[in-house]
Amino acid sequence: MKITDIQPGEYAPYQEAYLALVSHEWTLTEELEVSLAKFIDFVRDIPMDKYDYRYAEGKWDIKDIIQHVIDSERIFGYRALRIARGDTTPLPGFEENAYAVAAQAGRRHLQDLLTELSLVRHSTINLFKSFQEEELRRMGTASGYTVSARALGFLVIGHQNHHIKIFKERYL
């Protein structure tokens, strides 16, 4: 399954911008693997003096964003699991700024964040490999929008790629 298989109605309209950042070249699990390597390589190439940089007052620094990518991936994976297993309970949104404050990513070492991201991503890969086609196509509700389990997998990638784009535009 590739991003081109995802149809409107399987994701919230605002998420289309994230999905547009996913490669058409790879399957979902392949792209989850490839995009992890790209992200880690990209972050490691950022000059050390930029890790604490904030482009405006109240904005996150690079470590905060990496933690946000980790937290979001965990949430997207949890949502995908519930939807794929047929749970029809509407799933709530989450307040990303509150998570960022609570996480205190600035106290962590960069390598610890990248290791955690890698571990979470490998768990996500195995989760999506475990789903059958029928499970991937199942629809549920998250943050008030209809979403498929498979779209959530691609949103993990698109969300990560969105933040690489933000790094390039505002931090480097």
On whether residue 52 sits in a domain, the answer given is no
Backbone angles phi, psi at 90, to 5 degrees: -60, 130
Q: Take residue 161 and report the two structure tokens written for it.
A: 């790629």
On whether residue 67 sits in a domain, the answer given is yes
On whether residue 81 sits in a domain, the answer given is yes
On whether residue 68 sits in a domain, the answer given is yes
State residue 163's pLDDT score: 97
On whether residue 153 sits in a domain, the answer given is yes
| Number of domains the chain is built from | 1
pLDDT tens-place string over residues 83-116: 999 999 999 999 999 999 999 999 999 999 999 9
State residue 142's pLDDT score: 98
Domain range holding 162?
3-47+57-171
Measure the CA–CA gap between 133 and 150, rounded to whole angstroms.
9
Backbone angles phi, psi at 84, to 5 degrees: -60, -35
DSSP state of 90: P
pTM: 0.96
Measure the CA–CA gap between 80 and 136, rounded to whole angstroms.
8
The set of residues, in sequence order, having a beta carbon less than 8 Å from that of 163 and lying 6+ positions away, is 65, 68, 69
On whether residue 155 sits in a domain, the answer given is yes
State residue 117's pLDDT score: 98
State residue 99's pLDDT score: 97
Kindly give the confidence (pLDDT) of every residue in the chain, 172 residues in length, as a single tens digit, with 9 standing for 90 and above: 999 999 999 999 999 999 999 999 999 999 999 999 999 999 999 998 898 899 999 999 999 999 999 999 999 999 999 999 999 999 999 999 999 999 999 999 999 999 999 999 999 999 999 999 999 999 999 999 999 999 999 999 999 999 999 999 999 9
CA dihedral 130, 136, 139, 143 (to 10 degrees): 70
On whether residue 73 sits in a domain, the answer given is yes
CATH number at residue 30: 1.20.120.450
> Are 83 and 147 contacting, i.e. CB atoms less than 8 angstroms apart?
yes
State residue 122's pLDDT score: 98
Q: Which of 73, 90, 80, 95 is nearest to 129 (CA)?
A: 80
On whether residue 166 sits in a domain, the answer given is yes
Q: Looking up tokens 């509150």, which residue turns up?
A: 98
